[in-house]
């Protein structure tokens, strides 16, 4: 039952976010190539290929940056270093790969960028006077990025002692990544954000493998 719920809950949230994003994203100028294809027949793969190089490079750079920031942060603030972490193994890290790429790269972007960023921007656009689309979009990106960071706390708590400095580290590092993915979403497309998120996990997965090898 617990396993079924752990699978069903993100799936339901992704579906809800897809519906919310479909209703709000076009109204605030955000786009998805798949959505565009469904509504007016525009091509998907040719547009994805155009966006892919930048998205992949940004994603890889984000992964490297997060790893570097983590090293610096734990050196400067030793109390932010995880303690009581469960011992890992190569097999466990490799087993996490599908979740990293499918849930992280696809489902989280549907929920956090397509759903949440779009919904926040739509609400703000309705209540903020004047034409402040850039400010509205960036406010939505930052708020969703903070939610993205906080959403990683339960997973962190399950594998380490979640002290206040450790929690701040988890939220901050993930929020920084969320801002980068959000920037690609509002400037390019949902698919670009997905590619960047998945590419970042290439670095994070590699780092995790090195850590347990």
Which string of b and e fits 102-113 if b means at least 16 CB within 10 Å?
ebbbebbbbbbb
pTM more than 0.75: yes
Please, which residues have CB within 8 angstroms of residue 168's CB and are 6 or more apart in sequence? Answer: 80
State the residue for tokens 């970042």: 200
What are the φ and ψ backbone dihedral angles of 120, each rounded to 5 degrees?
A: -65, -45
Domains of the chain, by residue range, sit at 2-212
Residue 4 pLDDT grade (very low, low, confident, very high; cuts 50, 70, 90): very low
* Gap between the Cα atoms of 213 and 62, Å rounded: 23
pLDDT digits (tens, 9 = 90+) for 8-61: 677 888 899 999 999 999 999 999 999 999 999 999 999 999 999 999 999 999
């Amino acid at each position: 039952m617990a396993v079924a719920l752990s699978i069903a809950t993100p799936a339901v949230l992704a579906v809800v976010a897809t519906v919310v994003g479909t209703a709000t994203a076009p109204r605030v100028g955000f786009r998805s190539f798949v959505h565009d294809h469904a509504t007016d027949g525009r091509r998907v793969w040719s547009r994805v290929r155009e966006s892919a190089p930048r998205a992949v490079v940004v994603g890889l750079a984000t992964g490297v940056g997060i790893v570097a920031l983590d090293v610096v942060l734990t050196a400067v603030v030793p109390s932010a270093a995880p303690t009581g972490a469960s011992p890992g193994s190569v097999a466990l890290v490799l087993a996490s790969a599908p979740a990293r790429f499918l849930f992280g790269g696809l489902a989280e972007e549907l929920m956090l960028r397509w759903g949440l960023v779009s919904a926040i921007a739509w609400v703000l656009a309705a209540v903020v006077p004047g034409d402040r689309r850039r400010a509205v979009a960036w406010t939505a990106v930052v708020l969703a990025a903070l939610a993205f960071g906080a959403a990683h706390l339960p997973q962190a708590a399950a594998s380490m002692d979640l002290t206040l400095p450790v929690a701040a580290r988890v939220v901050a590092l993930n929020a920084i990544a969320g801002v980068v993915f959000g920037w690609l979403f509002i400037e390019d497309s949902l698919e670009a954000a997905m590619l960047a998120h998945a590419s970042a996990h290439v670095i994070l997965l590699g780092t995790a493998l090195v850590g347990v090898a």
